[in-house]
Amino acid sequence: MTHTTSTPITPRLRRARRKTRNLILLPLATIILILILEEGIARAAITEIAEIGHKEPNAIVEEGGLAVNQSTNNIYVTDISGNRVIEYTPSGELVLMLGKNVNKTKTGTAQADICTQNEITTENVECQPGEPGSETWPKDDSWKTGGGPTWLTGSYDADTDTLYWGVGNPGPDFNGDQRKGDNLYSCSVLALNPHTGKLIWYHQMTPHNTSDWDATQTPMLVNADFQGKPRKLLLQANRNGYFFVLDRLTGDFLTGAPFIHNMTWSSGLEPKTGRPIIKEDPAPTTEGTRVCPEGAGATNWPSASYYPPTGQFLVFATEACHIFVKNEEPFALGKSFYQGTERRSPGDPSQKFLRAIDIQNGKIAWEIPNIGGGPLDSGLMTTAGGFVFYADANGAIVAADATNGKILWHAGLGANISNGPETYMLDGQQYVVVGAGDSLFAFTVTP
């Protein structure tokens, strides 16, 4: 394993322009869709799509909560208020809802129940009594407060016309006593028919999770040779500490391995199924249970990246442990329902890395250590020129060699960077742009 350090060298990028306060006046959904529309969706749709959040009074669109079906140009919106995924046509017509509260919809809307795989009205992602999968929620009413929100963006495969979406953790988060079983389809990646919502396949990364490790990290779709054969792959580094490689056509588990070194709860993955093998019961207790990784996970929502020349998956990784405690807090509408708490484990350091994972075997190929002590809210971006751009936890944008992690350039921006870098060409010049605080910074890339 190669360990690299942040040693400054001559910058290969220079700052092009800085714009400050009040730059972004349009709704976030509009801004993101303008970028998408540049790729072929009619500009006339901008106004109508931008009004979706106002037409649906309970809809809240979160940053990154959009995906586009490139065949139909339909837009998928993650609504964090209702824990649901909503599909709209480019003209703003409601087509499909998945998740909770989908009975609050317009006349004629197709509504999908993943458990029954029929187009019917349902109020929960979790399987209700009598439906396939309901045996994983054996207590009669545990599914009613079962969590499993779809709160981050999925991925769409235009070649196969398939939508892939990650599902959140079950509830209550830290007390699994009332929900014995695997709790389908929480902590899973789903392959869905984007027209009907019918379930094609699923893979559950963490059955019966009690550590807040969802599976909402954006599924990455990659076409690559895998162990000598061309495959259509789905890659995910999960909050539970494992990196997964799946066949995205069939859902078959191909390989997986830890991408953190300190993992207490599992000793490996079943070779055929990819199901975690329990080493130490991670279930919280009233006294407290030490579990690694922490509740925020070995990684979280900031986007990972794939670098085709090396066949490596690049991701932020956190080595940390927490103490998980359960309680019997009663359920109450409108309030969080955790039935427990978590806190840092005394004596266990928290360390953050950028790691490159070989997708053939899940092994760590190289890493950049000590990338800051604050939040890692930025995503990663690799480029054909061989760079990986990211923001460290100290408010600096960094360019590293995508083949080995060697730091090439960095610039402190003086504020937290909560978005992934983006690159574009304008008048023959390549730019990299990133937001920090309430400002946008653009840099030119010099050959």
Q: Which residues of 29-57 are buried (b: 16+ CB within 10 A; e: fewer)?
A: bbebbeebbeeebeeebbeebbebbeebe
The alpha carbon of residue 240 and the mean position of all alpha carbons in its chain are separated, in whole angstroms, by 13
CB 171 within 8 A of CB 337: yes
Instruction: Please state the φ and ψ torsions of residue 151, each to the nearest 5 degrees.
Output: -105, 5
Q: Which amino acid is at 141?
A: D
Distance CA 318, CA 6 (A): 18
Cα–Cα distances (Å) from 383 to 72, 305, 393, 409, 421, in that order, read 28, 10, 21, 15, 11
Which of the residues 212, 252, 281, 401 is marked catalytic? 212
CB 80 within 8 A of CB 123: no
Sheet of 242-247, strand order: 220-226, 229-237, 242-247, 253-258
Q: What is the 3-state secondary structure (H, E, C) of 376-432?
A: CCCCCEECCCCEEEEECCCCEEEEEECCCCCEEEEEECCCCCCCCCEEEEECCEEEE
- Specify the residue for token string 């010099």: 446
For 279, half-sphere exposure in the C-beta direction (CA atoms, 13 angstrom radius) is: 10
Provide the β-strand partners of residue 223.
232
* E strand or H helix at 367: strand 364-368
* E strand or H helix at 33: helix 28-37
Overall size of the chain counted in residues: 447
225 is catalytic: no
Under DSSP, is residue 444 helix (H, G, I), strand (E, B) or coil? strand
Tokens (6 digits) for 294: 């922490």
CB 265 within 8 A of CB 274: no
Find the Cα–Cα–Cα–Cα dihedral 133, 134, 137, 141, rounded to 10°.
Answer: 150
| DSSP-assigned states of every residue in 212-274 | -----SPPEEEEEEETTEEEEEEEEE-TTSEEEEEETTT--EEEEEESSS---SEEEE-TTT-
As annotated, the active-site residues are 212
